[in-house]
C-alpha cells in the first residue's frame, strides 16, 4: 500500500511543503491528497485523516503520523538508507536542534510574513524589530551550519537533509517579501529554489486560483 501525504494549498501551506519536498527529493513514492485550507469544512475534511484536523499528515496503511518533525522521523525509520539526517553525530545533533528550533519558534516571522509563494516581490513591507531578530537568528543558523558542516555540498549540512526541508518555507518567505540576508544565506536560498522539487511545488502553486483574503500582497 502506497504512502499518502495530506497537504494544504501549495500557495500558502508552509507546513505541508516540509515533508513534501523531503519526500520528493529522496524519491519516496506517495499519493498526494490536497485539501484546500481556510474553508468552513476544511477541519472536518482533514479530521478524516488526522486527529488534529491540521495538515500535513502521512498515512501509511493503518498508521497515521502528524506533525512535520514526526513525519520526517517516521520516514527516516521506514527508509533508513535515504540518509535524511547527517551521518556525523555533531552535524546530526545540530541538524535536529535547528529543526526543532524552527518547529517551535520564529512566531513573529510567521505572523507578519505568512507564506505566499505567488506574492508580488516588488511590493515592499516594513520589517518589525521582532521579525528582524528572527531573520538575524535564521541567518546565523544557516551561516553556522554551512561553516561547520556544509563542506560536502551546497545544503545546510552538505547533503540535503530534513533540516533543509524544515527551513524551505523560510526560504519562500525571505524570497517572497524580499527580506535582506547575508551572501551565504542568499546563495543557500538560490540552491533550494533551484531544486526540481521546489520548481514543481511552485508551478503547482501558480495554478491555484483561490486567493486568501488579506494575503494577496
pLDDT tens sequence across 40-59: 888 888 898 889 988 999 99
Q: Roughly how many angstroms between the first and final C-alpha of the chain, as a whole number? A: 41
- Please, are residues 170 and 115 in contact by the beta-carbon 8 Å criterion? no
Q: Is 90 exceeded by the pLDDT of residue 68?
A: yes
Q: Is 50 exceeded by the pLDDT of residue 217?
A: no
Q: Which fold has domain 3-82?
A: Glutaredoxin (3.40.30)
Query: pLDDT band at 122, cuts 50/70/90?
Result: confident
Q: Does domain 89-200 have CATH number 1.20.1050.10?
A: yes
Residues of the chain with CATH 3.40.30.10: 3-82
Interhelix angle 196-207/183-193, rounded to 10 degrees, is 70
Residue 70 has which C-alpha cell? 514526526
Residues of the chain with CATH 1.20.1050.10: 89-200
The gap from C-alpha 217 to its chain's centroid, in whole angstroms, comes to 20
The torsion angles phi and psi of 147, rounded to 5 degrees, stand at -70, -40
Amino acid at each position: 500500500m502506497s504512502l499518502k501525504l495530506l497537504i494544504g494549498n501549495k500557495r500558502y501551506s508552509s507546513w505541508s511543503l516540509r515533508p513534501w519536498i523531503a519526500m520528493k527529493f529522496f524519491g519516496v513514492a506517495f499519493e498526494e491528497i490536497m485539501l484546500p485550507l481556510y474553508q468552513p469544512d476544511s477541519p472536518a475534511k482533514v479530521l478524516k485523516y488526522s486527529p488534529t484536523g491540521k495538515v500535513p499528515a502521512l498515512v501509511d496503511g493503518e498508521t497515521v503520523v502528524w506533525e512535520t518533525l514526526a513525519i520526517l522521523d517516521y520516514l527516516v525509520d521506514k527508509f533508513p538508507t535515504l540518509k535524511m539526517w547527517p551521518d556525523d553525530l555533531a552535524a546530526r545533533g545540530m541538524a535536529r536542534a535547528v529543526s526543532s528550533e524552527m518547529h517551535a519558534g520564529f512566531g513573529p516571522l510567521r505572523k507578519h510574513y505568512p507564506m505566499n509563494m505567488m506574492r508580488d516581490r516588488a511590493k515592499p513591507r516594513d520589517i518589525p524589530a521582532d521579525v528582524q531578530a528572527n531573520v538575524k537568528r535564521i541567518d546565523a543558523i544557516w551561516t553556522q551550519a554551512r561553516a561547520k558542516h556544509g563542506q560536502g555540498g551546497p545544503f545546510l549540512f552538505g547533503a540535503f537533509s530534513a533540516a533543509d526541508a524544515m527551513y524551505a518555507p523560510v526560504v519562500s518567505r525571505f524570497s517572497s517579501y524580499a527580506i535582506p540576508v547575508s551572501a551565504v544565506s542568499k546563495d543557500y536560498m538560490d540552491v533550494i529554489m533551484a531544486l526540481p522539487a521546489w520548481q514543481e511545488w511552485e508551478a503547482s502553486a501558480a495554478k491555484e486560483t483561490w486567493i486568501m483574503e488579506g494575503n494577496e500582497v
